Amino acid sequence: MISLGAVQAFIQYSQRFTSPVIQIAGQMNVLQSGIVSAGRVFEFLDAPEEPQLPGRPGESAPDGTAPARRVRLEQVSFRYEPGTPLIDDLTLEAAPGRTVAIVGPTGAGKTTVVNLLVRFYEIDGGRILLDGVDYRDLSREQVRRNFGMVLQDTWLFHGTIRDNIGYGRADATDEEIVAAARAAHVDDFVRTLPDGYATVLDGEASSISSGQKQLLTIARAFLADPGILILDEATSSVDTRTETMIQEAMARLQAGRTSFVIAHRLSTIQAADTIVVMDAGRVVEQGTHQELLDRGGCYHGLYHSQFSDALAP
Ligand SMILES: Nc1ncnc2c1ncn2[C@@H]1O[C@H](COP(=O)(O)OP(=O)(O)O)[C@@H](O)[C@H]1O
Ligand SMILES: [Mg+2]
């Protein structure tokens, strides 16, 4: 098994020249599947970048707001291991500013879809389009800088709170850091700490709750200001007040951005513009909450088995 030290070394290594997304994707993958995948990461980081295209996809709109982004997967197929097909004929579109909720049992392929969206892996068939441009006509960096991620396992590193929020934005000013923390409802909390933004986070020994950690990663996403978000909804329990703060901060973060949410909460799923129900690498159903309920299929079953208690008046 790969050591945490190696993971941290990897993060520091990749931090020098990549956007946050790849580090997270890399970190997830290293942790999930060990040294073989780490090899793939390095191979992947070392790959030459394709030439820049005109109309840089990561560029902010003239008014300074994050541009909304359309993402379309067309008949995508993908497998991690030769001979073991996983994603098959996946077609899915997220319109600018809309929210796509991805639901399905463990092993359905939800995380895999995220890995493909941020181009951590290359697809085997079909195509993925970012505002109509095929991923293959963009460099990985051009794809990735459009994405921000707030994942369930918060990915804070050993360093100050300031550096953690500023991760991937080495040029950020103190004012920008504080503004991002305010937007994420975490500035007040940081100011209660004796060292404030200079507080060093040190993994397990840290006195910061999981809810506050999540808010810090939301602050990081605010600062990065991406057009597209990937959110993995936390299932770990936090106190009600923090939960409310997280939900408000997330909603604010999502405003005007396209988002893919690996969703666990009924409220999120119901509010999504599109729900994608996955099973065994396939999209088995796609539609709004009401459409899928009316269809009486897989989602209907999932809904009644998982959420009926929550719904009882
Ligand atoms: N890096 C990997 N290498 C090989 N197989 C993988 C890898 N990651 C995930 N898988 C397999 O792909 C399938 C889908 O996994 P995943 O996308 O993580 O599902 P979910 O996020 O819906 O639980 C599972 O069978 C899983 O074991
Ligand atoms: Mg997963």
Rounded to the nearest whole angstrom, what is the distance from the C-alpha of residue 111 to the centroid of ligand 1? 7
Ligand sitting nearest the alpha carbon of 283: 1
State percent of the chain over pLDDT 90: 53
At residue 79, what is the residue type?
Answer: R
- The yes-or-no verdict on residue 57 having pLDDT over 50 is no
Nearest CA to ligand 1 atom 27: 107
pLDDT at 42: 33
pLDDT at 3: 42
Confidence of residue 173 (pLDDT cuts 50, 70, 90): very high
Confidence of residue 153 (pLDDT cuts 50, 70, 90): low
How does pLDDT run across 264-285, given as a tens digit for each residue? 888 889 999 999 999 988 899 9
- The yes-or-no verdict on residue 13 having pLDDT over 50 is no
Confidence of residue 168 (pLDDT cuts 50, 70, 90): confident
Ligand 1 contact via 81 beta carbon (within 6 Å)? yes
Average pLDDT, stretch 68-84?
91
Confidence of residue 209 (pLDDT cuts 50, 70, 90): confident
Confidence of residue 309 (pLDDT cuts 50, 70, 90): low
pLDDT at 24: 45
pLDDT at 308: 62
Average pLDDT, stretch 146-173?
88
Ligand 1 contact via 109 beta carbon (within 6 Å)? yes
Ligand 1 contact via 115 beta carbon (within 6 Å)? no
Question: Does 68-146+227-313 match 154-225 in CATH topology?
Answer: yes
Rounded to the nearest whole angstrom, what is the distance from the C-alpha of residue 105 to the centroid of ligand 2? 9
Show me where the domains of the chain are located: 1-48, 68-146+227-313, 154-225
Q: Which of 274, 276, 238, 268 has the alpha carbon at shortest distance from 250?
A: 268
Ligand 1 contact via 57 beta carbon (within 6 Å)? no
Architecture of domain 68-146+227-313: 3-Layer(aba) Sandwich (3.40)
- The yes-or-no verdict on residue 214 having pLDDT over 70 is yes
Rounded to the nearest whole angstrom, what is the distance from the C-alpha of residue 121 to the centroid of ligand 1? 12
Whether 117 and 147 have beta carbons less than 8 Å apart is answered as yes
Burial of 132 (0-12, 13-18, 19+ CB in 10 A): exposed
Ligand 1 contact via 175 beta carbon (within 6 Å)? no
Ligand sitting nearest the alpha carbon of 33: 1
Ligand sitting nearest the alpha carbon of 30: 1
The minimum-distance atom of ligand 1 relative to the CA of 29 is 1
Whether 306 and 293 have beta carbons less than 8 Å apart is answered as no
Ligand 1 contact via 26 beta carbon (within 6 Å)? no
Cross-sheet strand order for the sheet of 71-78:
87-94, 71-78, 125-130, 133-134
Whether 244 and 44 have beta carbons less than 8 Å apart is answered as no
Average pLDDT, stretch 218-237?
89
- What the block records as the tokens of 16 is 């020098």
Nearest CA to ligand 1 atom 11: 107
The minimum-distance atom of ligand 1 relative to the CA of 105 is 22
Residue showing tokens 């001979």: 83
Average pLDDT, stretch 172-192?
96
CB atoms within 10 A of CB 36: 10
- Measured CA to CA, the distance from residue 144 to residue 21 in angstroms comes to 6
Ligand sitting nearest the alpha carbon of 84: 1
How does pLDDT run across 90-103, given as a tens digit for each residue? 999 999 999 999 99
pLDDT at 14: 43
pLDDT at 191: 96
Whether 61 and 67 have beta carbons less than 8 Å apart is answered as yes
pTM of the model: 0.76
Nearest CA to ligand 1 atom 3: 80
Q: Which protein residues have a CB closer than 5 Å to ligand 2 (ion)? A: 110-111
- Best substitution site from 36, 77, 86, 235 to test ligand 1's pocket, by max atoms within 8 Å of Cβ? 86
How does pLDDT run across 38-48, given as a tens digit for each residue? 333 333 333 33
pLDDT at 39: 31
- The yes-or-no verdict on residue 226 having pLDDT over 80 is yes
Q: Which of 265, 218, 269, 209 has the alpha carbon at shortest distance from 239?
A: 209
Q: What is the mean pLDDT of the chain?
A: 79
Ligand 1 contact via 110 beta carbon (within 6 Å)? yes
Nearest CA to ligand 1 atom 10: 80
Nearest CA to ligand 1 atom 18: 111
Q: Which of 237, 177, 188 has the alpha carbon at shortest distance from 211?
A: 237
Higher pLDDT, 251 or 17: 251
Distances (CA, A) of 99 to 26, 165, 292: 25, 24, 16
22-26, 110-114, 184-188, 192-196: segment of lowest average pLDDT: 22-26
The minimum-distance atom of ligand 1 relative to the CA of 37 is 1
- The yes-or-no verdict on residue 147 having pLDDT over 80 is yes
Higher pLDDT, 29 or 237: 237
CATH value of 154-225 in 3.30.70.2860, 3.40.50.300, 3.60.20.10, 3.40.50.720: 3.40.50.300
How does pLDDT run across 25-40, given as a tens digit for each residue? 444 433 333 333 333 3
